[in-house]
């Protein structure tokens, strides 16, 4: 059953059950993933580093944590990960950075109008600064947090972290929660004002490269 939820900065978003046939495999929500450990909810809260997402997730005593290559969490339903990947690549190589910055800010504007529910970022400058800090930190220390995903393998939070891990080829840890999925595919962004010419660049430079 679909649900329509009002999210700050985004308006009404439809949540549903999405199926990505490339992800599921026997016994695991993500292909080629492996079980790492079991943690409790208080440990999860620290590893998520996002109070808004913490409030959304169903509470339970035991949470199984898995690990996988980041490419296995990529999905057609999270087009924003490809856009963020393009920015990471440009930031690290200093190649086409100005264009990557324009594309990144255009997609954030179309996604949430530079407003995040947790209040930590609310201007174009704050998004750029936060992303740059994340890239620099992950390059030095790796990824220390967990990405929450739905039972169907779609990420609930952590698109920036996933994009950085994807470029740096770092494994990511994830935990599974019983929530519906949101379809943040290419059409979603274009319908909300993302420049179609920018989408062509992402399709060619990122999706074509990752295939």
Question: In sequence order, what DSSP letters do the residues of 158-199 get, joined into one string?
Answer: -HHHHHHHHHHT--EEEEEE---EE-B-HHHHHHTT--HHHH
Spatial strand order in the sheet of 181-182: 3-7, 11-16, 181-182
Mean pLDDT, all residues of the chain: 91
Q: Which residue has the tokens 């179309």?
A: 110
Output the pLDDT for position 26: 56
Q: Residue 109 region, left (φ>0) first, then alpha (ψ -120 to 50), else beta?
A: alpha
pLDDT digits (tens, 9 = 90+) for 119-173: 688 899 999 999 999 999 999 999 999 999 998 899 999 999 999 999 999 999 9
DSSP 203: I
Nearest CA among 173, 166, 198, 204 for reference residue 88: 166
Mean local confidence (pLDDT), 73-80:
95
pLDDT digits (tens, 9 = 90+) for 79-91: 999 999 999 999 9
DSSP H/E element including 6: strand 3-7
pLDDT digits (tens, 9 = 90+) for 3-34: 888 888 788 888 888 888 767 555 566 888 99
């Amino acid at each position: 059953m679909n649900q329509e939820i009002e999210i700050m900065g985004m308006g009404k978003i439809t949540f549903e059950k999405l199926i990505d046939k490339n992800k599921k495999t026997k016994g695991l929500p993500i292909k080629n993933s492996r079980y790492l450990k079991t943690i409790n909810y208080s440990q999860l809260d620290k590893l998520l580093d996002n109070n808004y997402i913490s409030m959304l997730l169903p509470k339970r005593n035991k949470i199984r944590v898995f690990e996988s290559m980041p490419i296995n969490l990529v999905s057609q339903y999270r087009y924003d990960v490809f856009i963020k990947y393009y920015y990471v690549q440009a930031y690290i190589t200093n190649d086409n950075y100005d264009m990557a910055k324009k594309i990144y800010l255009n997609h954030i504007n179309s996604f949430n109008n530079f407003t995040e529910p947790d209040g930590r970022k609310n201007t174009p400058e704050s998004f750029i600064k936060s992303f740059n800090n994340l890239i620099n930190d992950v390059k030095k220390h790796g990824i220390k947090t967990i990405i929450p995903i739905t039972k169907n393998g779609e990420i609930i939070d952590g698109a920036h972290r996933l994009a950085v891990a994807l470029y740096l080829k770092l494994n990511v840890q994830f935990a599974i929660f019983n929530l519906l999925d949101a379809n943040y595919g290419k059409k979603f962004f274009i319908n909300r004002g993302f420049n179609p010419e920018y989408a062509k660049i992402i399709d060619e430079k990122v999706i074509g490269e990752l295939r």
